[in-house]
Chains A and B, each alone.
Chain A
Amino acid sequence: MGEPAQPAPRSNGDRSPWNWLLIVPIVVPLIPVLYNVIEPKLFGFPLFYWLQLAFIALGVATTTLVYQMTKRRSAPAAPSAAKGGES
């Protein structure tokens, strides 16, 4: 997406290198080659279905981790660490 970058404000704010982790659960579910197959099945579910349901756990784990690690604002962050998720 053509999102023009803006010079980083002086405040540390929400910035943290941990935020980059958020990209993982955004990108992984958008790669169909990872899951567009039937075998191996799990409890009778084709992989297409059980793996995508498992991505929910990936998302929860990531957001929980990032929240816990960035809870205290004082954590030092690289000044150019940009936002993790684009929206």
Chain B
Amino acid sequence: MWTNIHVTELVVFAVLFLAVSGLGFVAARWRRPATMEHLDEWGLGGRNFGSWITWFLIGGDLYTAYTFVAVPALIFGAGAMGFFAVPYTVIIYPMVFLVLVRLWSVSHKHGLVTPADFVRARFGSPTLALLVAITGIVATMPYIALQLVGIEAVLKTIGLTGDSTIARHLPIIIAFAILAAYTYQSGLRAPALIAFVKDALIYIVILAAIFILPSKLGGWDSIFGAAQAKFDATKANPNDGLLLNANNQLQYITLAFGSALALFLYPHSITGVLASKNRGVLKRNMSALPAYSLLLGLLALLGYAAIAAKVTPLPGTKTPDTNTVVPLLFQGQFPAWFAGVAFAAIGIGALVPAAIMSIAAANLFTRNIYREYLNKQATPAQEARVSKITSLVVKAGALLCIILLDPQFSIDLQLIGGVVILQTLPSVAIGLFTRWFHKGALIAGWVAGMGFGMWMLYNVSSATRPHFASSAFPLEKLGFDTKMTIYAGLVAVVTNVVVAALGTLILRAAKVADGPDRTAEPDYLVDENEPRGSLTPTEAAVA
């Protein structure tokens, strides 16, 4: 069934992968709770993770395997534009520094588990909460599928590929079945524990690559020289190169800014945040998490190293699969055992976020659809059980996405996912600071932003693809006389906010009833030693 397998790489990969899976099952006993039958335990790991665990967990959550494969691939193909990941992951932490602690406090106070829970409490609108929940699930599903794309890039490089569907997908089905089993059993504790191993591997691999590769390839000077030569040779694409040009600078900064706005709106990021013990843990992590940004930036430059090493990507379904450039670079430049370690790092790196994402999506379903519409009297044990089962369904869905559909479809969906999740910004992020918006106006803003965003993405074409080619929307399509492009998500969310603001003014003027706010300003400031529970609002301690 499989030919040309790199045996040493496969053995090292499989051994590490299985060892980590064992860890995933053991995790249920780690920091063992009195009962697992509660979402705070299964879905949030006991809401008690300290600074170190949170650092590994959120780091493993945000900097996914797909990022580690796709960002260098982008640099390999387009050059400077792909480096947007660095400003993106620099500005994000100061941006959310004051936001996440408020979300943590109000969630701690009211026992909230998902972003939609917060919207439900803040705006008193089950409909708006449902929209936020569905938005979160829809944006997360392709993200999980993309983690599989990351694993597949590695498996393909090892040689586990073939013509039949079974040959191509069997390894990934096995890997995901194992993942599903231990997530079911251990909940958020599994990815938290695995994240330690994953990150240790990733750091070793990348630091080794950064120090050893340049000497093999004649130093960074000649690596950048080779990249320059490649971009000079492709006159057909004016937007590649070692630097940005006049037309893609706006796209560069709006993509960085828009992506940063979106990242902590994703349900899986919020799951990582709510699992931490107190506000101090979060604030300290805002200074510690950029270590991963440095890693990502250095890793991104391996895209240029791959150019210098004359890597040719493996064939994909239609065009060459550039996601294979980093795996191929390791295979070509390092001994087989080390390549195996690198591949394991990427493979395991996919499991951590995939587990957290499936937990987050499952929690959304349980809290904001099941409990809201199907079983209003659900006990904590029932909630935990529904979440566990939903997490299996979510993973099976992601797997089917990859097996039945072109992987390109998942990548497109992920592109859309960023624009989609941004539409929850007014109700979730701005909602943390102000209750000014009317619930009806927020729904209208969501509809407007979503509609306009989809229209823009649909109208982005490239030489090879008529629609959904990228998120870089040409401003000339709006009538501006320019070649500049802008990140569609940012335009969509600005539209959303404007519509929500105008709608609020109109609805207020028309005296349309607004929903009740179950939260109070002091709730946004409480810390771990303050009492939980929203039943007695008078208890709310003033900070």
A interface residues (Cβ-Cβ under 8 A, vs B): 1-4, 6, 9, 11-14, 19, 22-26, 29-32, 36-38, 41, 43-46, 48-49, 52-53, 55-56, 58-60, 62-64, 66-67, 73, 83-87
User: Is the C-beta of B111 less than 8 angstroms from some C-beta in chain A?
Assistant: no
In the bound complex, how far is the Cα of B93 from the Cα of A66, in angstroms? 12
Q: Which of B98, B243, B294 contacts A83 (CB 8 A)?
A: B98
Is the pair A85, B97 in contact by a Cβ cutoff of 8 Å? yes
A14-B102, A29-B87 are known; give 18 further A-B pairs, CB within 8 A.
Answer: A1-B494, A2-B498, A4-B501, A6-B436, A14-B98, A14-B525, A19-B98, A26-B95, A29-B90, A46-B242, A48-B242, A49-B83, A49-B297, A52-B87, A52-B90, A63-B283, A73-B543, A84-B97
CB within 8 Å of A: which B472-513 residues = 494, 497-498, 501
B-side contacts of A32, CB under 8 Å: 244, 249, 252-253
Closest to A8 in B: B521
Rounded to whole angstroms, the CA-CA distance of A66 and B243 in the bound complex is 33
Q: 11 A-B contacts, Cβ less than 8 Å apart?
A: A2-B497, A6-B436, A14-B101, A19-B97, A22-B94, A24-B94, A25-B90, A38-B242, A67-B283, A84-B94, A85-B95
Q: B448 CB to closest chain A CB, in angstroms?
A: 13
B69 CB-CB contact with A under 8 Å: no
Query: Which residues from chain B contact A23 at a C-beta distance below 8 Å?
Result: 94
Number of A-B contacts (CB under 8 A): 148
Of the residues B90, B249, B252, B525, contact of A55 by C-beta under 8 Å:
B90
CB-CB under 8 A from B90, the residues of chain A are 25, 29, 52, 55-56, 58-59
Cβ–Cβ contact A63 & B94, under 8 A? yes
| Given A44-B224, A46-B224, A85-B98: A13 in contact with B524 (beta carbons within 8 A) | yes
Listed stretches B1-9, B134-142, B284-292, B399-407; interface member: B284-292
B357 at the interface (CB under 8 A from A): no
What separation, in Å, do the CA atoms of A32 and B87 have in the docked complex? 10
Question: What are the residues of chain B within 8 A of A3 when measuring CB–CB?
Answer: 430, 497
B531 within 8 Å of A by Cβ? no
Looking across the interface, which residue of chain B has its beta carbon closest to that of A45? B220
| Given A11-B522, A59-B290, A87-B95: A43 touches B542 (CB 8 Å cut-off) | no
* Shortest CB distance A8–B (Å): 10
Give min CB distance, B375 to chain A, whole Å: 34
Determine whether the beta carbon of A87 is less than 8 Å from that of B261: yes
Residue contact A11 to B543, C-beta cutoff 8 Å: yes
User: What chain B residues lie within 8 Å of A9 (beta carbons)?
Assistant: 521
Distance in angstroms from A2 CB to nearest chain B CB is 5
Candidates B86, B294, B433; contact of A6 at CB < 8 Å: B433
Q: Does B87 contact A55, Cβ atoms closer than 8 Å?
A: yes
